[in-house]
Amino acid sequence: MAASRALFLDRDGVINHDSGYTSDVENFRFIDGIFDVCRAAKKMGYLLIVITNQAGIGRGYYSEQDFSILTKWMCDQFESEGASIRDVFYCPYHPEDGIGHYKKDSFDRKPNPGMLLHAAEKHELDLNTSIMIGDKSSDMQSANQAGVGIRCHFLSGVNNDVVSDVATHQISTLQDSISLLAKSVFDINNAARTAVKAG
Ligand SMILES: [Mg+2]
């Protein structure tokens, strides 16, 4: 079976406005265009996978149960928008500020690539033809280390991050990523056709 490709989404600052340690439905506001992007990606055959650092858990701001309640609600919203999320990976650890067993320098915590590598193994993904959208340099670094081919840095102007030197693309609205997805699919299909001709 051919490997699948994924659209990896950071959560805070990509799916929802990053108001700092968002932990409940009342404070969770979707960013304009996220459902359009996800519907388009799904139609093009991408699996939708969320990759999120959640050190708020490790810091004791909210519990894993709070996170799981919010995640279930979030996934229901995507489902009803016709863009169901295949999986959600999160890292609750923090190397300095984690409390108890949450104080840990985790290979899963972005900018490390652990979560992406676990996702690739679990869902048999081709990382080279997969895409990551994130609003921080750490998202781009994580994707680069994992071998995700298209690393899309979303700089909406809300945060002051500068474009990462390992990003392959920069976008200022989420909708801008739809043409990237389409071009990537076109390139993949083109390469496949060329390979068939050559054979
Ligand atoms: Mg973020």
32 is catalytic: no
Digitized pLDDT (tens) for each residue of the chain, 199 residues in all: 568 999 999 999 999 999 899 999 999 999 999 999 999 999 999 999 999 999 999 999 999 999 999 999 999 999 999 999 999 999 999 999 999 999 999 999 999 999 999 999 999 999 999 999 999 999 999 999 999 999 999 998 776 678 999 999 999 999 999 998 988 888 888 888 888 887 6
Residue 111: cis peptide before it, omega within 30 degrees of 0: yes
Q: What is the pLDDT of residue 160?
A: 65
CA of 124 to the centre of ligand 1 (A): 25
36 catalytic? Reply is: no
Distance 192 CA to ligand 1 centre (A): 34
Tokens of 43: 């139609």
CA nearest neighbour of 123 among 51, 189, 183: 51
| Catalytic residue (one of 10, 18, 135, 139) | 10
Name the pTM for this structure.
Answer: 0.94
Q: Where are the domains of the chain?
A: 5-198
Report CA(125)–ligand 1 centroid distance (Å). Answer: 22
- Rounded distance from Cα 128 to ligand 1 centre (Å): 22
Beta strand extents in the chain (DSSP E only): 5-9, 46-53, 87-91, 131-134, 150-154, 169-171
- Would you state the pLDDT for residue 198? 78
Q: Domain 5-198 classified CATH 3.40.50.2300?
A: no
Catalytic residue among 12, 18, 139, 161: 12
Cα-to-centroid distance, 130 and ligand 1 (Å): 18
